[in-house]
Structure 1
Amino acid sequence: MRTILTPEMGGYRVWGQVWGGCRQGLGICAVPKAAGFGTEARHQLQSRGSSKRLGSLGDKPFRRLLQPENLSREELVDVLREAVVDQKGPLVTLNKPQGLPVTGKPGELTLVSVLPELSQCLGLGERELQVVRASGKETSGLVLLSSCPQTASRLQKFFTHSQRARKPTATYCAVTDGIPAASEGKIQAALKMEHTDGASLVVPVKSPSRKDFLKGVKWTLSHFRVLASGSGCALVQLQPLTAFPSQLQVHMVLQLCPVLGDHKYSACVGTVLGQRFLLPAENTKPQRQVLDEALLSRLHLTPAQAAQLPLHIHLHRLHLPGTRPRDAPIELLAPLPSYFSRTLQCLGLQYQ
C-alpha cells in the first residue's frame, strides 16, 4: 500500500458528479465561492447539538474525545466507519477525530494500520484504501482516502501545484488564547525541526543563512484572519500556504496567541505585568498549557480539566478543482467537534 501524506493538511467531503481517473470517478458538488466563511460554511461550523446547555457536559467536558490506546483494532474500525462523511466511487471521506495518529511505529494503532479492515468493512473488497490527504494527530478534520491510485495521484498533483503557486487549498479554524494585534495578515517564518531529549520540536530560525537552508530550515507562510474575538480569545481562520509540521501552532505562538490546547509550544509565550513576550524556543521545554483564572471560569474548567484540553485546530474547508477545467472550484466542508463548539459557546464567540 502506498500512502501520500502532507503535514498539517486535511481531508475532504464529497457529493455528486464525476471527477477522477477511475471509472467510477469522484462525486462532488460545487459550493459558490465566497470570501472567508460563507453562510453555508457558518452553518457547517456549528456541530450538531451545540445549542445544548453547558451544564449537560457535567464533569466530563471532553468525554467524546478519542483515546486510541484504549481501543481494539475492531473498535477503531467501528469508530472510523461511523466517521465516514461520504463514499462515492473510489473515494471515502471521513471526519478524523482529534488524537488519532495517521501513521506510527510498527504495531501501533493508527489510521493507516486499520485501512485494510476499513476497506473490507466498507465493501471495497481487494481495493485497499490509501491516504490522499490527512492532518496531524492532534488536529481534527476531514481525511480523504482513495481505493484508486490514479485518482489519488491526480488529486495529489493538484495540491502540490497549488502549494508551489502559493494558492491556499485548506482552511482551518482555531481558537487562540489571546487576540492577534492585526485582524488579518500573513505570518512568515523560517522553521526547523530539532530532536532533543527524545522529543521533536519545531523552532523558528532568525535570519537564516544559506547553510541553514541546506540543513533543513524551511520558509513557511500562513494567512490568518480574525473572525470573532472576546474574553481575551479569538476565533481565527488559518490558511497554510506551505506545509511544515506544527506550522499553524508555531505561527500563532509567534503572534503571541497560542492555540487553546497547545501543550507543546504555548510555553514559549511568557507574560510580565500583563504584557506578553516570546521566549527562546531552544530553551523552553514543552509543558501543559496554563490558562488564567478568568479564562478557566469562562470555559467552566478546573485546572486539571484544562490540562486535558484538546488542541483547537480543525480542518474545516478544502478547495478542489472543478470537474472540468472551466468549472468553478469546489468547497468541501466539515463540522466542528463538539468540544470546539462548546468552547465557542463558553467564550461567546459569534460571527458578525
Structure 2
Amino acid sequence: MGALRVWRWISETWRPGFGAGVRRRDAGFGTEARRRPQPQASSKSKDPVEDQPFPGLLRTENLGVEELVDVLKAAVVDQKGRPGELTLLSVLPQLSQALGLGHQELQIVRAPGKEASGLVLLSGCPQTASRLQKFFAHSRRSQRPTATYCAITDGIPEPSEGTVSVALRLERVDGIDLAVPVASPSRKDILEGVKRTFSHFHVMATGCGCALVQLQPLTVFPSQLQVHMALQLCPVLGDHTYAARVGTVLGQRFLWPATTTKPQTQVLDEALLKRLRLSPSQVAQMPLHLHLQRLLLPGTRSRDPPSELLAPVPSYFSRTLQCLRLSQK
C-alpha cells in the first residue's frame, strides 16, 4: 500500500507508547478504562486523580525540538510499505533523521480536529494517498462511515440514538473561524461555502448527568461533531468553543444564537465539578474529550474487506470515565 504511517494524536501533541494498544476488535473504552491499573497514591494524597486532573496531557509548548521528535518517533502505531520522509509541522528534518527515513514526502490523509485526540493517518506514496482518499470519498457518497469517534458529553442526548443533519458555514469572529448553522440554505449559500453535514450518534453509557457517545461523521467539516453535540444541548466536555451556545434557565437547556455567541471557557455546574474533582480555575485547562478511536481502511485487494485500526483513549479520558462512573450498556 506504499508508505503508510499511523499516529495517535493527543490534544495538540503526540503520545508515546501506543503500539501495544492497537487491536483488531472493539476497543471497549468504557470497561477497559476502569480496569487499567492506577498509579500508587503518594503520602500526601490518597487519591491520585486529585493531583493529576488531566493525566497524560502533554502540551507541545512545554517541549523542545528534540523532545518532540522523540515523542513523535514513539507515537508511530502502524507502518506498511517502504518508508518515506515524514513531513510533519516544524520538526520534519529532525524527525526524519530520528526515524532513519528517506526523502519521499509524506502527507496527511486522515486526522481528527486540532483539539481532538486519536488516529492520524499519513502516507508517503502518492498512489496510496490517492487510493485512500478515493476510498473515503466513495464511503461518504455511499453513506458508510469510516471514522468512529467517542466523546464524553455534558448532558445526555435524547433520543439516545439518531442522526444530526444541519447546514454549516464558517464565519470569522474575533480572528477565529467558527462553524455556524444555516437554516434552509439556498443554492447560492451552497455555492458560497455552506455545506450540509450529517453525523450518527449513539449513547454508549450514562452517568452523573453525562454520556459516553459514539459519533460517526458522514461528512467532513471543521468542528462538525462539536457543533452537532451542542445542537443536541449536550456539548462535549472540554469544548471551550461551542459549549457557550448552550444556556440553562431553571434547569432547562436552550440554544443561544450562534452568530452572537463568542467562545469562552466551558461552564460546568458545581455537582459535575465535584464529581470530576476539579476547581473552577482548572476547567479552562480541560482538554476536549473527543477521540478518533477507529478508522476503516481499504483492503489490499478490491475484493478484500476493509481493515480496522483502533486507538485506546488518552489517560485523561479514562480518568473522566472513572470519575463519572460511566459504564457501557
Instruction: State the one-letter code of the partner of 2:76.
Output: V
CA shift in 2, pair 1:323/1:202, >3 Å:
same
Q: Name the structure 2 match of 1:69.
A: 61
Say if 2:154 and 2:235, in contact at 8 Å, map to a contact too: yes
Say if 2:156 and 2:209, in contact at 8 Å, map to a contact too: yes
Say if 1:134 and 1:143, in contact at 8 Å, map to a contact too: yes
Q: C-alpha displacement at 1:63, in angstroms?
A: 4.5
Say if 1:192 and 1:205, in contact at 8 Å, map to a contact too: yes
Q: Name the structure 2 match of 1:236.
A: 213
Extract unaligned runs of 5+ from structure 1: 1-10, 14-28, 32-37, 95-109
Q: Name the structure 2 match of 1:172.
A: 149
For the residues of structure 1 that align with 2:296 and 2:68, how far apart are their CA atoms? 28
Structure-2-length-normalised TM-score: 0.86
Say if 1:270 and 1:277, in contact at 8 Å, map to a contact too: yes
Q: Name the structure 1 match of 2:38.
A: 52
Instruction: State the one-letter code of the partner of 2:53.
Output: P
Say if 1:30 and 1:329, in contact at 8 Å, map to a contact too: no
Instruction: State the one-letter code of the partner of 1:57.
Output: V
Structure-1-length-normalised TM-score: 0.80
> SS where residue 28 of structure 2 aligns?
helix
How many residue pairs are counted as aligned between the two chains?
305
CA shift in 2, pair 1:111/1:49, >3 Å:
farther
1:225 pairs with one of 194, 202, 219: 202
CA shift in 2, pair 1:50/1:290, >3 Å:
farther
Say if 1:12 and 1:332, in contact at 8 Å, map to a contact too: no
For the residues of structure 1 that align with 2:34 and 2:134, how far apart are their CA atoms? 34
- Per-residue Cα deviation, 1:79-110 (whole angstroms, up to 9, x for no partner): 11121212332469x9xxxxxxxxxxxxxxx9
CA shift in 2, pair 1:45/1:241, >3 Å:
farther
2:191 pairs with one of 211, 214, 234: 214
For the residues of structure 2 that align with 1:171 and 1:183, how far apart are their CA atoms? 17
For the residues of structure 2 that align with 1:226 and 1:91, how far apart are their CA atoms? 39
Q: Name the structure 2 match of 1:123.
A: 100
For the residues of structure 1 that align with 2:95 and 2:121, how far apart are their CA atoms? 13
- Tell me which stretches of 4 or more aligned residues in structure 1 moved more than 4 Å: none
| Residue 333 (structure 1) aligned with residue 310 (structure 2) | yes
Q: Name the structure 2 match of 1:87.
A: 79
For the residues of structure 2 that align with 1:154 and 1:181, how far apart are their CA atoms? 38
Say if 1:159 and 1:169, in contact at 8 Å, map to a contact too: yes
Say if 1:288 and 1:307, in contact at 8 Å, map to a contact too: yes
Say if 1:119 and 1:127, in contact at 8 Å, map to a contact too: no
For the residues of structure 2 that align with 1:185 and 1:176, how far apart are their CA atoms? 15
Q: Name the structure 1 match of 2:125.
A: 148
Q: C-alpha displacement at 1:268, in angstroms?
A: 0.3
> SS where residue 295 of structure 2 aligns?
strand
Q: C-alpha displacement at 1:121, in angstroms?
A: 1.7
For the residues of structure 2 that align with 1:345 and 1:281, how far apart are their CA atoms? 33
Say if 2:30 and 2:321, in contact at 8 Å, map to a contact too: no
CA shift in 2, pair 1:206/1:85, >3 Å:
same
- Per-residue Cα deviation, 1:57-79 (whole angstroms, up to 9, x for no partner): 34332253221223222221111
2:28 pairs with one of 36, 42, 48: 42
> SS where residue 41 of structure 1 aligns?
coil
Return 191-200 or 46-55, whichever deviates more.
Answer: 46-55
Percent identical residues: 68
> SS where residue 143 of structure 1 aligns?
strand
CA shift in 2, pair 1:144/1:160, >3 Å:
same
Say if 2:147 and 2:296, in contact at 8 Å, map to a contact too: yes
Q: Name the structure 1 match of 2:12.
A: none
Q: Name the structure 2 match of 1:8.
A: none
For the residues of structure 2 that align with 1:235 and 1:179, how far apart are their CA atoms? 9
CA-atom RMSD, angstroms? 2.6
Say if 2:30 and 2:326, in contact at 8 Å, map to a contact too: no
> SS where residue 128 of structure 2 aligns?
helix
Instruction: State the one-letter code of the partner of 1:78.
Output: D
CA shift in 2, pair 1:253/1:67, >3 Å:
same
- Per-residue Cα deviation, 1:107-132 (whole angstroms, up to 9, x for no partner): xxx94332343233222122333222
> SS where residue 285 of structure 2 aligns?
coil
Q: Name the structure 2 match of 1:289.
A: 266
